[in-house]
Structure 1
């Protein structure tokens, strides 16, 4: 506060003193450059003031420029210089070497003010994980290997989180994760639209991992919640950063981030554009165990995307207690999905029946936009006493056309052509009101409501080439309409002492879901109301040891693609279809977590138990050589797991992080007279190290292992992979060059076997090695894109 008052007063005084100083003759000019002690980086916008030695009054004042340099003049010969900046010790200079009315002080080193820094929570380089009552916060600012990568790749570095080769997100080995952006649902967090690919690592400040959410959060997502917090600078004046990235396979992008903050407004903008190619090699074997016939396929498919992304927004500080935020995001993608697959069919004697090539040419355009209005009111009695209203609207569209050409290579004739046309539109609306009141130092209440509307239409048409003319296949053509409305109301009460605290809450949600196949007029409607209680507690045993415990009830509501009965015919021998009659699954989740520090190491361990009813599993059936996979509700799943993760800072140049998760499950269920009772386990681990080298070079190595596990009809193979990252600071840290290599040894795979009495289906996929090279530069008060989360004001 002292430095802030000095800064403000000196600026006011500067306006008056400058005119007087200019009129003086024989002024003494003092110059210098302000430098941080720890990093040798320049300190811009620090306060520089000249005082009269006798009266201590201010004679003149200025601030340092972008490079930390300053120049100040005075005709008073009896003065001393004072330099101050928040977070650093104030420095007084009494002795000057004056020559020709000039005094060059050179580089002035400012040391951090440890007392001030103790009051500021700094994440990033200091610690990747911060623990709170009902969540963990993972800061990704220093994750050098993810620079230039998408949000999905960043998530794959977060403890407890795994992203498979298809982009499916799991938390502690379980799917059904609810994704949020800045605490709210967003089209950018919709897995089915691949929109997370439009968020790059340099846009993310932190990720909240909520394995056992309180009643304040939406009850969907049986595995928990992942909340991506995007950066929004808070520095006064202009600041920003620009980044350029390239990679192999093609991964080229440019990004610009701008921020202008005044007393009343915070204007922010982000602009990005680029091109990326995502190749995938795949292999599949369909084996009929009744007649021993086999269909084998192998090929490569691509998803080539040109994308443009623009975000504009403003925070309007009506006064100290009221803030209005309006933001909008517009994105546009142009997709091409070429693929080439070789099919071969063999009889019981392994003799070739036929071999043919299937080529796909797919073009799509994906417009998407979202808009958001927030109003936040703080009350005078307490800054945590708040009322928040928010409204979010979003749209995602896909206009896609595909052509499939079969060309016989040998054997029986399999020449045929097909076309598909898809017109997909999704509109989502979310309205929220949240009220938080710390009614005393130990009691806090929260209450609020949320109303969510999801409205989707998927018009899908398949045509076959017959006698030179494409004829619509009515059996595969339909328009699927999906409309879901969820109303939720919640309340929580928290009691928190210095060492012990407890938080209890209840959420009520009413769901109305309607689906309709318009061509066949087949409709399905579900209407249900559920209660979702939550309890969380924490106990601080000592300064270095704490315990947390929690319980919550969760729901997984079937998504559009789980319900839509139509499918992509890229490989028409292995197809996935939805189930319009699929019911939601419910999970009771219990968790006990310990957090402790041992010297330079910090560790967190959790013991958890989940019991899920109406478990959703993908079940495969085999008809005429075609494997059809459909989600079904199959019985219950009881699991118990142990997870531990930690960080050890060996010295100032070596940091080691690790994560281990073991999950044992017991399945009970029956589907169409087939019993699916079995037990199994799966585990995953991650070990990473950050090594500081001379010349401001950092190296990061991250090894991952995902074990294999048993499924209701077969098994999934485990895999290990290694990521490498190198970072080099240049221009005194204002610019950073990053090199990242994903899957260094090309060992990350997706391999699954479905084995039943009458058939077997094997599938394999691999994306291979990805190399990225990027450079980012921060200007104004901005920093380079590896922004650590510690903000200067």
Structure 2
């Protein structure tokens, strides 16, 4: 369930100045219910005999609720100079209250009044963020457009994770200290960029460079006062990008591009204290988790035909360093422990293609697919990780307009 409202005011006193003030607030709640009957949960002796030594039936009720109440306020200002250069500024503040409990009940079956285990874990995660951005578009040159800018981002995300288990003798819920924690993620980012765009004859080109400096502190404490550790991580890195496009004729274009970007980790993926996802799974993070650094190279072709028909094909290569993957380990004989960890390097190379066909004015069709080879190489828990797979997906869409007010649509997605 989502409720949200938006309010904004724009003020333009003259042709060169523009002011904007905006607010956006809302409440979000998401429930995921999984009620599962385990008819044949059993244990066997080790191979080669594999004799059954225990059979157990039970009913698992698992309700996961996630809240996200938020409010954002922004103020923007832009000024157009006499030489057609433009200055733009933006200030944004965000406050979000994340949280929500997870109920996990293991009950008897078919008699649900029997209580084997009841657990309740909840968390309050207030998040405060500030972003300031300053952009300057220079007066156009004869050979292109130059843009420069600076951005500052600050994030303070705290979390109080409480994990409780019912004492079947007393009926009271008691704290499970080894699963309960308090965290505080503080992240500060400074970045500056320069971007150039131009066009010459049949050529279009763009090149840019963003320098980014990040400082991160992650404070971790347990509920017993035994753990009080601060993990720090920082970097200063360049993130270049470049695009070049050549127009063969009025209907055909060839495009090549390269970009480097960063995918930062969330607080949840860094908390090493486990959280009960459902009966079979605990999920935990890694406080030393590093962000992913992604390099992407693409080579594409676009072809337009008469009548609104078109074809595109893009070959690509994607390299991910510090790949974050969810790794399964054994917690006990019936529960897996899923850990988010940097497992190494991921490589993907493949092709994405799409065809749009319009046989008649009121009938439009699209079919596309993504086909790629995906491999991971690295190390987890002193063991080599070496996996490879071929992945593909196909999607199709067909829309027929009977009139201006009536239409039918067919959609297919296959993975």
TM-score between the two structures when normalised by the length of structure 2: 0.89
Q: CA deviation at 1:446?
A: 0.7
1:400 aligns with 2:90: no
Alignment length (residue pairs): 398
Give a deviation string over 1:189-245, Cα, whole Å, max 9, x none: xxxxxxxxxxxxxxxxxxxxxxxxxxxxxxxxxxxxxxxxxxxxxxxxxxxxxxxxx
Is contact 1:587–1:610 with CA below 8 Å preserved after alignment?
A: yes
Structure 2 residue aligned with 1:597: 304
1:630 aligns with 2:339: yes
TM-score between the two structures when normalised by the length of structure 1: 0.48
Flag the structure with higher strand content. 2
Structure 2 residue aligned with 1:345: 41
Judging changes above 3 Å, is the alpha-carbon distance between structure 1 residues 690 and 379 closer, same or farther for their aligned structure 2 residues? farther
Q: How does 1:450-469 map to 2 (within 5 A)?
A: 450-466=151-167, 467-468=169-170, 469=172
Flag the structure with higher helix content. 1
Give a deviation string over 1:373-400, Cα, whole Å, max 9, x none: 1112223444xx3221001111111353
Indicate the structure whose relative CO is greater, using CA pairs within 8 Å and at least 6 residues apart: 1
Is contact 2:276–2:283 with CA below 8 Å preserved after alignment?
A: no
SS at match of 2:89: strand
Structure 1 residue aligned with 2:315: 607
- Between the aligned partners of 2:144 and 2:312, the Cα distance in structure 1 is 27
Q: CA deviation at 1:474?
A: 0.9
Give a deviation string over 1:55-105, Cα, whole Å, max 9, x none: xxxxxxxxxxxxxxxxxxxxxxxxxxxxxxxxxxxxxxxxxxxxxxxxxxx
Q: CA deviation at 1:444?
A: 0.9
Structure 2 residue aligned with 1:206: none
Among 277, 293, 309, the alignment partner of 2:4 is 309
Q: How does 1:301-700 map to 2 (within 5 A)?
A: 305=1, 307-333=2-28, 338-343=33-38, 344-348=40-44, 349=51, 353-360=55-62, 366-382=68-84, 385-409=85-109, 415-466=116-167, 467-468=169-170, 469-519=172-222, 520-600=227-307, 601-625=309-333, 626-694=335-403, 696-700=405-409
- Between the aligned partners of 1:589 and 1:334, the Cα distance in structure 2 is 35
Q: CA deviation at 1:345?
A: 2.0
Is contact 2:102–2:276 with CA below 8 Å preserved after alignment?
A: no
- Between the aligned partners of 2:323 and 2:142, the Cα distance in structure 1 is 43
Is contact 2:195–2:207 with CA below 8 Å preserved after alignment?
A: yes
Judging changes above 3 Å, is the alpha-carbon distance between structure 1 residues 490 and 633 closer, same or farther for their aligned structure 2 residues? same
Judging changes above 3 Å, is the alpha-carbon distance between structure 1 residues 620 and 338 closer, same or farther for their aligned structure 2 residues? closer
Q: CA deviation at 1:524?
A: 0.7
- Between the aligned partners of 1:605 and 1:685, the Cα distance in structure 2 is 14
Q: CA deviation at 1:596?
A: 1.5
SS at match of 1:529: strand
- Between the aligned partners of 2:347 and 2:205, the Cα distance in structure 1 is 27
SS at match of 2:278: coil
Is contact 1:354–1:410 with CA below 8 Å preserved after alignment?
A: no
Judging changes above 3 Å, is the alpha-carbon distance between structure 1 residues 692 and 323 closer, same or farther for their aligned structure 2 residues? same
* Structure 1 unmatched ranges of 5 or more: 1-304, 707-793
Determine which structure has more spread, i.e. the larger CA radius of gyration.
Answer: 1
- Between the aligned partners of 2:193 and 2:83, the Cα distance in structure 1 is 24
SS at match of 1:318: coil
- Between the aligned partners of 2:162 and 2:197, the Cα distance in structure 1 is 54
- Between the aligned partners of 2:28 and 2:377, the Cα distance in structure 1 is 44
- Between the aligned partners of 1:531 and 1:477, the Cα distance in structure 2 is 38
Q: CA deviation at 1:360?
A: 4.4
